[in-house]
Structure 1
Amino acid sequence: MKTTYFIKILASTCFSLLVVTFSIDAQVSLTEFSGKVVDGKSKKVLEAASLNINETNIGTITNSEGKFALKVPSKHLDSKVVISLLGYNTRVVPLSKLSKEDNIIMLYEAVTELSTVSISAYKDAESLVRKVFKNKKDNHQDESVYMTAFYRETIKRRSRNVSLTEAVVNILKQPNSSSQQDAIKLNKARKSTDYKRLDTVSVKLQGGPFSTIYLDIMKYPEYIFTDETISSYRFTFNEPSTINNRNVYVVDFKPKNNGLNINYNGKLYIDVQSLALVSANYTLDVSNKSKSKNLLVKKKPSDVVVYPLEANYKVDYKAKGNKWYYSYSNLSLKFKVNKKREIFNKVYTLSSEMAVTDWEINTTERKIKGKDRLRPTVIITDAISGFSDPNFWGEYNLIEPDKSIESAIEKIKKSIEKQKEEERKQTANG
């Protein structure tokens, strides 16, 4: 008899979370625009480019193939869409200039010039980073905010999708200065999981949307930098960059030594004018196999050893007025599973991302009932079902699926159709 083992993988070594709701009027008339964002010179596709309807909080981002789909309420059709990406000049396009499909939007790399005086205002990069975290109450969200976000989670064995989960979630984002954790409510979700393809080992992500929202290091700095650990990193200035036509400091960081149990290497992007963090990209150091062995694992069989091969994290913020708000995050984990008495190792890739597609300041102090909250330990593939309706997402904005995900969805649809046909035959045969 074949035994199936389940390994729960943490999104990071210590991520978990809480949850809430916010909905859009289902009767709103919408127009959808789709297309691709590319580099104007090289024509390469641009991933994670942000598209926002001007003077609103409605937006989306491009997928790994540069594709986007943006649903716009009719009352905003006279507006403009703002397209931005770190390192590129921001572009503003009237919606009236876009067709419904096959739009190609070109962005051009920005040339950034920062005088040495700008950088010399800080004796070193570490003092700048400390100032960013010290002043976060002034620069980043410090009020209660309701957000609508799209979440996608995929698990692959080698290059094959074995689990695909998508959800629209409602987030009650607590002030950064508050000790209260954020809360998330599952609004609408669908999944497909084929554990047969995983042979004797099945992988699950613990935390679901929580795993991505805890990458908000302005709200949860303890997951990467604390007052104690920040001095264990070496911070250095890199070439400056640009986001939304604003100059940005680029600060590299890496551990001074291997004294920490968990080491990260990465980059921080800091707005020159406000000293707000606008983006962070970092990776977990997995070079020491004896130290990283089973590091991301919550639960596993005794005869299985899990080695992380890669662990990459990203978080972005958007400016609204003089404040910056959490807008996007993703994580990508690649790991190898060794099982005793088996010749071949198995390699899995787990990815999850969340993009905020709309939000509003919580002026009415709405609360989230306990029964509506997702658990911090939720395994979202165990909590939801369904993947059949082609118009499933309705009015919600989402991240367009790339080709591999489109292929997986097509297989899911065919499987559902086949199952329905068999049920019809059984009913006809009485």
Structure 2
Amino acid sequence: MKNIYLKTQVRRLLPLLIFFFVVGINQNIEAFQNNNQQDTFTEFKGLVVDSRNNDPLIYADLNVNGTNIRSITNTEGEFSLKVPKEHLEKSVTVSFLGYRTQTVSLSEFNRESTVIKLSVVATKLTEINISTVKDPKKLFQEVLKRKAENYYGNESLMTAFYRESIKKGKKNASLSEAVLEIYKNPTKSLKKDNLILIKSRKNTNYSRLDTLALKLQGGPFSTLYTDLMKYPEYVFTDENMEYYEFSFDGRSQIDNRQVYVLSFKQKPNVLSPFYFGKLYVDVTSLALLRADYQLNVSNRAMTGAMFVKKKPKKVRAYPLEASYRVDYREKDGKWQYGYSNIKLVFRVKWKGRLFNSTYSLDSEMLITDWQQNTAGIKPQQTLKPNVILTDEASGFTDPEFWGEYNIIEPEKSIETAIKKISRQLEKLKS
């Protein structure tokens, strides 16, 4: 079988893969600080775990019923949920892939240590459901065809929390956090989404980066572009679908909904970097509810060229891992982008040095609230897609920095890094 290199197809992936290494560059964006603190909400903290063994459930979803307020657990299963006073009599729906969805009244929440236990649910698809779907590729093509009817069809204004962290080895070297407004265009629209920065903070410890500053060009835009229903062309196009293999990979359940699990990967004779992963498709509506996928990074030369836009001449850099995830949430029978994350792991080799370095970059974006947008947006207010978050440590010493905004609870390692940054700032002030 003839091997196939597809340079033009690789270039079509580039808008999604816009990370780069660079020394001494400093592009900034302004952080609009809003420090008005109002006692109009209550914050609840806790843990979501497996009922059988108390293992933490990572990225479990929490949604305040009757509202668009949402949060999600971190990689240690911990959550923080800020609820306006007028909604304290409501309940919270807690869901996780493959587990039974649970509804808990806010009156049962403890302010600091709520533990929610979810039980595994056995999912059985009827024989008729399986037999009516024989071609997994055609099934996914039908998913793409139905996006106009399955996903929110109007412009919406979303509030989002964004976090970006960079590690050298196991040590945190950079931490960025931001609250943004997303002016989301419908999935069927060709218009791209717009972002406005509301509040942000960032600190980079360049001593841990060996003078090599790994920065994320695009920042929150890169995470937003993982939305396969809005931007399928970054992974799937009409032209490249023939180079993918699809298969059925069992079944599961998301938020009490039965889902087909579809696996996909590039064909063996396609040598250019493409993606592989799993797609979770609602059995009834054929809406995509979740996708987990990775880039094939076996070709180091090609994938290195895709990711690294600028670097010192003595440096060779290539990805060891490039993983992506996107989740959708349902409201009034329509689905909308809700959460996504990116994990990149790079190997960096300096000419003449004995040891190599490994850098990992994690970024995630969570939609914490949204509403239909009728006011429009002024173009001069928006961030540019090639933006880089500025190196500012402002806010790390303020425990109430985020105010009423919902955020993803920091992991222990990030929380430790924040405390170190705060201590450094205190020393500088004294």
Same fold (TM over 0.5): yes
Aligned to 1:286: 297
SS in 2 for 1:153: strand
| Runs of 4 or more consecutive aligned structure 1 residues displaced over 4 Å after TM superposition | 23-28, 382-386
Once the two structures are superposed, residues 387-410 of structure 1 have per-residue CA deviations (whole angstroms, 9 ceiling, x without a partner) of: 321110000000000110011001
Structure 1 position 101 matched with structure 2 position 112: yes
Aligned-pair distance for 1:60?
A: 0.3
Aligned to 1:15: 16
Aligned-pair distance for 1:123?
A: 2.6
Where does 1:44-59 land on structure 2 (aligned, <5 Å)?
44-59=55-70
Once the two structures are superposed, residues 398-430 of structure 1 have per-residue CA deviations (whole angstroms, 9 ceiling, x without a partner) of: 000011001100101100111111xxxxxxxxx
Aligned to 1:154: 165
**2-side partners of 1:115 and 1:76: how far apart?**
39
Aligned to 1:381: 390
**2-side partners of 1:290 and 1:300: how far apart?**
15
**2-side partners of 1:270 and 1:260: how far apart?**
28
Structure 1 position 271 matched with structure 2 position 272: no
Quick check: 254-263 or 107-116, which moved more? Answer: 254-263
Taking every aligned residue pair, what percent have the same amino acid on both sides?
51
SS in 2 for 1:371: helix
Structure 1 position 125 matched with structure 2 position 136: yes
Equivalent position amino acid for 2:390 in 1: T
Aligned to 2:321: 310
Aligned to 1:191: 202
Aligned to 1:64: 75
**1-side partners of 2:393 and 2:424: how far apart?**
18
Question: Would the alpha carbon gap of residues 231 and 116 (structure 1) be closer, same or farther in structure 2, given more than 3 Å must change?
Answer: farther
SS in 2 for 1:239: strand
Question: Would the alpha carbon gap of residues 93 and 371 (structure 1) be closer, same or farther in structure 2, given more than 3 Å must change?
Answer: same
**2-side partners of 1:243 and 1:318: how far apart?**
10
Aligned-pair distance for 1:238?
A: 1.1
Aligned to 1:391: 400
Equivalent position amino acid for 2:243 in 1: S
Among candidates 345, 348, 369, match of residue 358 of structure 1: 369
Once the two structures are superposed, residues 243-279 of structure 1 have per-residue CA deviations (whole angstroms, 9 ceiling, x without a partner) of: 1111011001111134263211100000111110000
Aligned-pair distance for 1:292?
A: 2.5
Aligned-pair distance for 1:239?
A: 1.2
Contact 2:163 2:178 in 1 (8 A): yes
Question: Would the alpha carbon gap of residues 283 and 31 (structure 1) be closer, same or farther in structure 2, given more than 3 Å must change?
Answer: same
Equivalent position amino acid for 1:394 in 2: G
Contact 2:172 2:417 in 1 (8 A): yes
Among candidates 220, 228, 232, match of residue 243 of structure 2: 232
**2-side partners of 1:51 and 1:343: how far apart?**
47
Structure 1 position 411 matched with structure 2 position 424: no
Structure 1 position 206 matched with structure 2 position 217: yes
TM-score (norm 1): 0.90
Equivalent position amino acid for 1:411 in 2: K
Contact 2:273 2:297 in 1 (8 A): no
Contact 2:35 2:403 in 1 (8 A): no
**1-side partners of 2:275 and 2:306: how far apart?**
14
**1-side partners of 2:40 and 2:57: how far apart?**
29
Question: Would the alpha carbon gap of residues 82 and 375 (structure 1) be closer, same or farther in structure 2, given more than 3 Å must change?
Answer: same
Once the two structures are superposed, residues 284-309 of structure 1 have per-residue CA deviations (whole angstroms, 9 ceiling, x without a partner) of: 11122333333311111222111111
Aligned to 1:9: none
**2-side partners of 1:284 and 1:248: how far apart?**
24
Question: Would the alpha carbon gap of residues 131 and 382 (structure 1) be closer, same or farther in structure 2, given more than 3 Å must change?
Answer: same
Once the two structures are superposed, residues 354-391 of structure 1 have per-residue CA deviations (whole angstroms, 9 ceiling, x without a partner) of: 000000011x2x23223321110011135885532111
**2-side partners of 1:25 and 1:162: how far apart?**
30
Residue-pair matches, total: 405
Question: Would the alpha carbon gap of residues 207 and 331 (structure 1) be closer, same or farther in structure 2, given more than 3 Å must change?
Answer: same
Equivalent position amino acid for 1:388 in 2: T
**1-side partners of 2:85 and 2:206: how far apart?**
43
**1-side partners of 2:88 and 2:36: how far apart?**
17
Contact 1:54 1:79 in 2 (8 A): yes
SS in 2 for 1:110: coil
Question: Would the alpha carbon gap of residues 281 and 27 (structure 1) be closer, same or farther in structure 2, given more than 3 Å must change?
Answer: same
**1-side partners of 2:304 and 2:376: how far apart?**
41
Runs (5+) with no aligned partner, structure 1: 1-11, 422-430
Question: Would the alpha carbon gap of residues 401 and 177 (structure 1) be closer, same or farther in structure 2, given more than 3 Å must change?
Answer: same
**2-side partners of 1:383 and 1:272: how far apart?**
47
Structure 1 position 335 matched with structure 2 position 346: yes
Q: CA RMSD in A?
A: 2.0
SS in 1 for 2:250: coil
Aligned to 1:402: 411
**1-side partners of 2:344 and 2:376: how far apart?**
34
Equivalent position amino acid for 1:14 in 2: P
Question: Would the alpha carbon gap of residues 383 and 176 (structure 1) be closer, same or farther in structure 2, given more than 3 Å must change?
Answer: farther
Equivalent position amino acid for 1:418 in 2: K
Contact 1:295 1:308 in 2 (8 A): no
Structure 1 position 111 matched with structure 2 position 122: yes
Aligned to 1:219: 230
Aligned-pair distance for 1:346?
A: 1.1
**1-side partners of 2:290 and 2:138: how far apart?**
18
